[in-house]
Structures are given as structure tokens and as C-alpha cells.
């Protein structure tokens, strides 16, 4: 079942080998994408491929491949169904450790699958609200690039776990940016708010879809600066990501968000999201 893709070949995970001189391993000189597949069908593929191109261009890795063919085949070889594809491209293996690189390196392309839940099949009642803490955003200033150097994200996520929370929300210069692996939304008086798109956050594919769905369905939204006070006095807080979709945050820094229940606008967005997903998957 666990087949991975590495540099042109589909192999059993235990047989996949990457050099110790791969720049992804030595320097985190690599970028990645995570793309959900539901019932074997890729979700928002074009958008993910655009972001992949953006990341590659931004770090000047010159890699071309039929990404869709690779991912479709990988999903098929792993039994189809509900899977996320992790796709990583590193600058490659220079045969030595040296920060400088030459442009003739062959990028290393790796992809693997992970099972994901189709929460829209289960329904809104099955979704658990999560707890979050707020911590300083200590990442670099190019968070629009989906780079694999995730040490700041990993450390604060672990800090969140140590506090019995599920996600850390990041704050820089008094303003909330996003979660360690998610974008942030709040609701106040029926209006949806999310931090402005900038190089300080990842341009989330789910974030864009939420805003599109809001737009199409008459939900008022605004991209604004969100400070801590605004966050903790919100009526609803959500996070979004490709593997979790839209999840309500019911507690921030040990304080309930409003009455601590999943909010009505979240429910509405969940249903809109579910409808969108169903149409895409069934081709209706």
C-alpha cells in the first residue's frame, strides 16, 4: 500500500533512498505542496500547481514535470480514496556540503500519500472544535513560499500540544498572521475577517475557497489586520487548511471563544464547503 514517488519512479517507501548530500536534507533547500484527493480525485489541483510554481520560482529551483500525472498515479497506486499527496522538490544533491550551488543540479522530487478524513461525508456535528494558543511568530518574512524549513512551526506546535491545545496561532508586531499549518478567520457581528494576504502568510488554497464561497453566497467578508483583542473578543474563530478544511476554534489561550460552541457562520460555511466538494467530486 505504501508506494512513494522518487525521481521518476514509483517504489515501496522502504526502498526509497535520498543522498545525505541532498540540499533538502542539509539546508532545508526545498519546497513542498500538500494536495488533498477525495475519492481519488484531486481537489483544487490547478490552484495547488500555481502555488507550487510560485514556490519554485521564488527559490529559483528549476523543476518541470507532469505533476498531475505523478500525483494521480501515486494516489491510484495507494488505493485511491481520501488521501493527501505530499510533494517535495529540493534543489538536489551536489555531492558535498556547500551553501553555494550551481544551476545544473538535478532537483530531487519526492511524493508520498497520507490518509485524510472526508469530514463532509461525516457532517458538521462530527467536527470537533479545537483549542489554540497564541505565540510569537518567529518565522522568516517569506511565508508565502511553502518551504520545508518548518522548525519554527514545529516548535510552537509542540508548545501548543504541551498546553493541551491543537494549534498555535502566530502573532507578529501585535497582529495575528496565521496558524502553524493553517490560515485564520474570525467572525464578528456576522462579518467574516481574515488577515490580509502578504508575504507574512501562506496564500492558503482553502482560504481562497472560503472567501470565494463567502462572496458567492452573500456572506460579508473583509481582509484586515487582526490584533489580540480582536481575536479574543470574536464571536467565532476558525482555521482552514487543505487537509482539515474549515475547523472551528472554540478556545484561545484557555478562554472560550464566545460561548465556546461551534458558531452558526462556521456551520453555514461548512455546508457551503460540503456542497462545493460534493459537486466537484460527483461532477453534478
CB of 177 to ligand PMP, least distance (A): 9
Question: Given the complex with ligand PMP, which of 93 and 206 has the nearer CB atom?
Answer: 206
Closest distance of CB 264 from ligand PMP, Å = 23
Backbone angles phi, psi at 34, to 5 degrees: -130, 120
174's CB contacts (< 8 A; 6+ apart) are: 227, 228
Distance of CA 284 to the CA centre of its chain: 27
Nearer to ligand PMP, 90 or 182 (CB): 182
User: CB of 157 within 8 A of CB of 169?
Assistant: no
Strand partners of residue 22:
93
Catalytic residue among 96, 146, 188, 262: 146
Specify the residue, 51 or 131, whose C-beta has the smaller distance to ligand PMP: 51
* Site for ligand PMP, rule CB under 6 A: 34, 178, 181-183, 202, 204-207, 240-242
CB of 207 to ligand PMP, least distance (A): 6
How far apart, in Å, are the Cα atoms of 213 and each of 125, 205, 209, 278? 21, 12, 6, 14
Distance (Å, whole) CA 156 – CA 169: 9
Q: Which residue number, 137 or 251, has a Cβ lying nearer to ligand PMP?
A: 137
Cβ contact 29:91 at 8 Å: yes
Give the shortest CB-93-to-ligand PMP separation in angstroms: 26
Q: Is 188 a catalytic residue?
A: no
User: Which residues are annotated as catalytic?
Assistant: 146
Amino acid at each position: 500500500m505504501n508506494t512513494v514517488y522518487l525521481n521518476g519512479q514509483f517504489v515501496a517507501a522502504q526502498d526509497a533512498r535520498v543522498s545525505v548530500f541532498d540540499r533538502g536534507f542539509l539546508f532545508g533547500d526545498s519546497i513542498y505542496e500538500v494536495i488533498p484527493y477525495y475519492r481519488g480525485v484531486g481537489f483544487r489541483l490547478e490552484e495547488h500547481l500555481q502555488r507550487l510554481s510560485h514556490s519554485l520560482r521564488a527559490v529559483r529551483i528549476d523543476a518541470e514535470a507532469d505533476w498531475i500525472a505523478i500525483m494521480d498515479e501515486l494516489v491510484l497506486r495507494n488505493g485511491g480514496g481520501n488521501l493527501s499527496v505530499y510533494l517535495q522538490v529540493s534543489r538536489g544533491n551536489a555531492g558535498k556540503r556547500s551553501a553555494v550551488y550551481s544551476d545544473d543540479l538535478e532537483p530531487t522530487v519526492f511524493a508520498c500519500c497520507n490518509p485524510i478524513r472526508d469530514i463532509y461525508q461525516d457532517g458538521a456535528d462530527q467536527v470537533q472544535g479545537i483549542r489554540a494558543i497564541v505565540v510569537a511568530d518567529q518565522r522568516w518574512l517569506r511565508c508565502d513560499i511553502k518551504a520545508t524549513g518548518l522548525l519554527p512551526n514545529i516548535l510552537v506546535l509542540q508548545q501548543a500540544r504541551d498546553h493541551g491545545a491543537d494549534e498555535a496561532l502566530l502573532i507578529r508586531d501585535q497582529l495575528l498572521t496565521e496558524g502553524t499549518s493553517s490560515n485564520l478567520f474570525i467572525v464578528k457581528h456576522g462579518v467574516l475577517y481574515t488577515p490580509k494576504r502578504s508575504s507574512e502568510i501562506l496564500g492558503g488554497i482553502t482560504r481562497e475557497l472560503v472567501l470565494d464561497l463567502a462572496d458567492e453566497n452573500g456572506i460579508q467578508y473583509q481582509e484586515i489586520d487582526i490584533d489580540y483583542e480582536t481575536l479574543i473578543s470574536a464571536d467565532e474563530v476558525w482555521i482552514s487548511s487543505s487537509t482539515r478544511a474549515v475547523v472551528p476554534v472554540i478556545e484561545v489561550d484557555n478562554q472560550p471563544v464566545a460561548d465556546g460552541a461551534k458558531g452558526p457562520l462556521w456551520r453555514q460555511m461548512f455546508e457551503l464547503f460540503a456542497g462545493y466538494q460534493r459537486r466537484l467530486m460527483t461532477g453534478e
